[in-house]
Structure formats: C-alpha cells, structure tokens
Amino acid sequence: MENTSQKNINNEDQSMSQDTTEKSKVILESKKANVYYGDMHAIKNVNIKMRENSVTAFIGPSGCGKSTFLRTFNRMNDYIDIFRKEGEFYINGKEIYQKDVKVEELRKTVGMVFQKPNPFPKSIYENVAFGLRIQGIKNKSVLDEAVEKSLKQAAIWDEVKDNLKKSALALSGGQQQRICIARALAVEPKVLLMDEPASALDPISTAKIEELIYQLKENYTIVIVTHNMQQAGRVSDRTAFFYIGELIEFGKTKNIFTNPKEELTERYITGRFG
Amino acid sequence: MKIREKIIEGGLAFSALITVLTTIGIIWVLLSQSLVFFKDVSIVEFLTNPEWTPLFTNKNYGILSLLSGTILTSSIAIAVALPIGLTIAIYLSEYAPKGFRTYVKPMLEILAAVPTVVYGFFALTIVTPYLKTIFPEIAPFNALSAGIVMGIMIIPMISSLSEDALFAVPKTLRDASYGMGSTRYQTAFKVLVPAASSGIIVSIILAISRAIGETMIVAIAAGQQPNMTMNPLETVETITAYIVQVSLGDVPHGSIEYRTIFAAGLTLFIFTFILNNISFYIRRKYQERYE
C-alpha cells in the first residue's frame, strides 16, 4: 500500500489507445490538487484529465474523498469554513479558483445532481425553470421551451407533461431525481457532476437514471461518484479509483475492471475491502 | 411502589386537567355573562351601531368603534414588526456569522421580556412627543404611537419564529439552489422564504394575536375614547383598553355596564381563538412539507 502514491501521474494516457473519446478536448482537469478539511488531508496530490462527452466514474470506499473532489469542480466546498485547497482546477482550460471567476457563473457551466433528490417545494415547471428565472429570464415561451426540452432530455417528459403545475414533491424518488437532472440541464451546462445520483433510489429508478446518463453524454461531460461498482462499469467510459484521498488508478473502465494495474484496485473491485 | 406510581400519575393528570378546566371556566363565564348582556342588547345593534357609549346616559352598544381601535393599533404594529422582523430573520439565518446568531437571538428575545407597562410609558412619554414634531396635529393619546411601540414589542416573535422556520429548511435545498448558480440573495428569497413560508405565516399570525390581546400599551398610550376611525393620529380605544377601564372603574357588579366587558371579552376571545387555530392548522400542514 505504501508504494502507490507516486504512480498516479501517468496512468491516464497509457490505457487510451482504443478509446472513442481519445481525441476530444480536455474539459475538466486538476493539477497537483490537494484538499484539506481543517487538519484532515482529504485529497492528496491528484492529477486528472477528463474529456468532453465522456462519463467518468469516481469509485472508492466511503470517506476516500471522491465526493469532496467532485465538489471542488463547482466550488461547492466554498461554504465549508474549514475547507482549504492547493493546486489548480480547470474547467475548459480556465482555472476556476482565480479571482476573476464568478462562482455563480461557474455553477451555470458545471451543473450538479445530488445524492438525495432535492427538488424545491414548488411545481415541476418552476423547479425546471428555476435556473433560467434566477438569470432574469421572464419570457414565457422561452421558459416553456426550455422546460419541455430539459424534461425530454431527462427522460421524464412523458410522465409529467400533463401535470407540470403539480408539486415536484408529489413525485416518486426516481422521478424527483430526474426532475433534478432536468433542472440542472435547463441552464445548458457543459459539465454535469453527479454525486451518487442513484444511491437513494430503487433498482428500476436506478436503471432509468443509468440509461439517462448514457444518453446525456452525447451532449455533456459527466462525472459520477458511485458506491456501486456495477454501476460504474455500466455507465462510465473511464473510472478513477480513490483510496484515502489518493487517486490510485485512472483509466478505461473496461481495463480497470478486467485488468487493474494496482493490487489495491483489484482488491477493491473484487470486494475484498471497502 | 404501585401506589406511588398511581399517585404520580394522578398528579400529572390533575395538572393537565387544571389548564383544561380553566379554559372551560373562562369560556363558560364569558358565554353566560354575554348571554345575559345580549338579552338587553340585540346582536344586530352590537355589531352595527357605530357608537360605543355604555357609560354615558345616552347608551350605545356598538362594538365596531372598539374593534376599529384594536384593528388600527394591531395593523400599525404588524406594519412595523413584519418588515423588520423578517429582515432580522433572514439576516440571522443566511448572512450572519455563526457565532453572531447564538448571541444576538437571545438578546432580541429580551425585547419580548420588557414589561408592557414600560413600553406603555415609553410610547406616551418618548414616542408621542417625537411624533408630534412630525405631525403637529397628533392627539396626546393616539393609535400611531401605541401601534409603533407594540410593533417593537412583537418583533422578536416574528424574527425568532421565522428564523427557526428558515433554519429548518433542509440543507439539501440550499445545496440545490447554490448548485444552480444562485446568489445568497436569490437563495434566501426564491428558495428559503417560500419553503419556510408556512412557518413564517404562523409567526405573523401569532404576532397579530399577541397585538390584538395587548392591553397595557394601548391603555396608556392610545387613549380611552371609542372612536370609529382609521386615522392613526387620533385617540382610539381598543377592546382591551375598554375592559381595563371598566374593571378599574366604579361600575356596579351585575349591571349592564358591567356585562359589556364580557361581551367585549368574548369578541376578543373569538378573534384570537380563530387566529390561533389558523396558525395551528398551518403548522400541522407544515410538518409534512418537505418529504
């Protein structure tokens, strides 16, 4: 276990040979990323590149820092008093912790879906239109169009199109989560960060979310944190394995699951710890 | 041992019973005395006559002129307390540093602990003279001064209860809002205030109910002259102030003048009873809100 820390620098490019996303642009990138919560060193020297229109899964045991790392890319950790970071984080080539970056603008580019479905206690329509409304858009036909488009993208339009005025809280958990995805899509982000989006859902709803992720990657770059290794295997192009704050291995999902380079990765994916 | 348990149980039940019996007793007294009153005075006259002069030789029994005083002073109080209280609540729950909230909230609640008689002479001796510099025609006893001071008194009711409601909004909704790129201001006014609206409404209703029942401030500063007006600069008398006036005066027990206070009290009771029930109903709905 001790000799794993330096190996994560180059393991991205080696496994890329037959990857379809190989030549696309790098959208998310971190360089020598370190994150601290008070005295705790939550993320240790992580370098990673994620490409356009790909799905990257972050896996690893609880408390390994994968959610923390995910949240540094839309600066959701900023509200935590004891949070501190070192290194650089890039979205589309722009360092996002620089002074001239407006965090509200950043979050419009980098949408987020949370672990527990968290629709607002408003109607379905108002939930999806929220992001546009806070940008000051009042034109009804623009809003109508965006709401319909987003709900269709989130594969829930057919289920709710007749009840757009109904409270989003009246829907099932799986439907609520797709409303939350539609809400995030409505502002047309480039990146979608998903923090265990299916962990609170039943298997059927989970399958729907996974199918949706597969469709969404045509237009979005997706990063998903998951505890469920089968899920990572099903939905992602690449997988990053984290362990106690370190990026142990990162590569094509197929390779990570069939032929991991690190013993630690192998032990984790075969269920010997975690 | 068994007997001891029984005694304790009985004691607890008795304590609970006392409050219920007291309430029933109050309602009984109000109703029975009012019934006697309404034998002499018709309900129609009570509700429509614009004059309230039971202590004069030319007797009129129109509750509206007292009710207008109550509504006027309470409205002024709410107009003062609502914007200030709500602003404080939003500031404390969303903007203030964590430590600040723990110190300032109890300090604010001290406002509610000031004896109302102190508020009363504060209104009469400080606020009214000050208002006179702005409105020279203001009466020495007036609804405006009493209403403003009553508003100050109920600020902590609104700020404290609303702050609790805002603070209880789940963190996941804040995450959702910030995650969409909302500013703090947008999060507070577009997500948190609507989500906490039922709690905020409850706080407002309880504050109104407190203002309607408030006695000392209005008795001291608003005057004792029934006046069907909505002009805040005039002298008015509220239902509560009238009850004080008769209770302290030399009206003989059992006379019709004496029974007027029960009819007035019943009117007051019905008002606060309805308001408290509305707030109870809203609060119960509120509990099943987020899930």
> What pLDDT shows up at residue B290?
52
Cα A211 to chain centroid distance, Å, stands at 15
The fold adopted by the segment(s) B64-287 is MetI-like fold (1.10.3720)
Name the nearest CA neighbour of A126 among A146, A111, A112. Answer: A146
Reported confidence tier of residue B286, pLDDT bands at 50, 70, 90:
low
Give residue for tokens 């965090």.
A103
- What average pLDDT score do residues B37-58 get? 89
Which residue's structure tokens are 């890039």?
A90
DSSP A25: P
Q: Which residue of A has its CA nearest to B194?
A: A121
pLDDT band at A16 (very low <50, low <70, confident <90, very high): very low
Handedness of CA B134, B138, B142, B144 (dihedral sign): negative
pLDDT value for B289: 55
Q: Are A59 and A240 in contact (CB under 8 A)?
A: yes
Interface test with B, best of A67, A78, A130, A187 (most B CBs within 10 A): A130
Between the alpha carbon of residue A33 and those of residues A41, A112, A236, B270, the distances in Å are 11, 20, 23, 66
3-state per-residue secondary structure call for B231-264: CCCCCCCCHHHHHHHHHHCCCCCCCHHHHHHHHH
The span from the CA of A266 to the CA of B1, in Å, is: 64
For B215-260, write each residue's pLDDT tens digit. 999 999 998 889 888 999 999 999 999 999 988 888 888 888 889 9
SS (H, E, C) B157-198: HHHHHHHHHHHCCCHHHHHHHHHCCCCHHHHHHHHHHHHCHH
Expressed in angstroms, the distance from the first to the final Cα of chain A is 15
Tell me what the mean pLDDT of segment A31-41 comes to.
92
A 10 A CB-CB count for A112 gives 26
Contacts of A112 in chain B (CB under 8 A): 175, 179
For residue A3, pLDDT beyond 60: no
Question: How far apart, in whole angstroms, are the C-alpha atoms of residue B124 and residue B32?
Answer: 37
Closest CB to A187 among B175, B180, B194: B180
A79, A116, A183: residue with CB nearest B180: A183
* pLDDT tens digits along B181-214: 999 999 999 999 999 988 899 999 999 999 999 9
Select the residue of B186, B194, B195 nearest A134 (Cβ to Cβ).
Answer: B186
| CA–CA distance, B54 with B50 (Å, rounded to integer) | 13
Chain A hits for B173, Cβ within 8 Å: 118, 120-121
**Residue B176 to residue A76, Cβ atoms within 8 A:** no
Nearest to B175 among A118, A121, A187 (CB): A118
pLDDT band at A274 (very low <50, low <70, confident <90, very high): low
If pLDDT is split at 50, 70 and 90, which confidence band does B283 have? confident
Instruction: Report CA Rg, chain A.
Output: 19
> Could you give phi then psi for residue B122, rounded to 5 degrees?
-60, -45
A11: pLDDT strictly greater than 50:
no
Task: Tell me whether strands A83-91 and A110-113 are parallel, antiparallel or unpaired.
Answer: unpaired
Residues paired with A112 in a beta bridge:
A193
- What confidence category does residue A7 fall into, taking pLDDT thresholds of 50, 70 and 90? very low
Residues A210-246 pLDDT 10s: 999 999 999 999 999 998 888 999 999 999 999 999 9
Instruction: Quick: pLDDT tens for A166-183.
Output: 999 999 999 999 999 999
| Per-residue confidence (pLDDT) for residue A18, from 0 to 100 | 43
Residue B20's pLDDT is what?
Answer: 95
Position B287 pLDDT exceeds 70: no
pLDDT of residue A22: 58
User: For the residues B39-63, what does the mean pLDDT come to?
Assistant: 89
pLDDT at residue B131 above 90? yes
pLDDT at position A17 over 60: no
Taking the C-alpha atoms of residue B188 and residue B72, their distance in angstroms, rounded to an integer, is: 31
Distance CA B149, CA B141 (A): 13
Is A121's CB within 8 Å of B195's CB? Answer: yes
Closest CA in chain B for residue A128: B180
- In order of start, what are the domains of chain A with their CATH numbers? 2-118+190-269 (3.40.50.300)
pLDDT value for B17: 95
**Inter-chain contact A104–B195, Cβ cutoff 8 Å?**
no
Partner residues linked to A89 by β-bridges: A30
- How far is A215 from B46, CA to CA, in rounded Å? 72
**Is pLDDT above 60 for A2?**
no
Point out the least confidently predicted range of A70-74, A78-82, B79-83, B285-289. Answer: B285-289
DSSP state string for A224-249: EE-S-HHHHHHH-SEEEEEETTEEEE
CA A174 – CA A272 distance, rounded (Å): 31
Alpha carbon distance B12, A110 (integer Å): 59
Instruction: Write out the two tokens for B107.
Output: 């300090």
pLDDT of residue B260: 92
- Convert the pLDDT of each residue in A149-170 to its tens digit: 999 999 899 999 999 999 999 9
Cβ A168 vs Cβ A144: under 8 Å: no
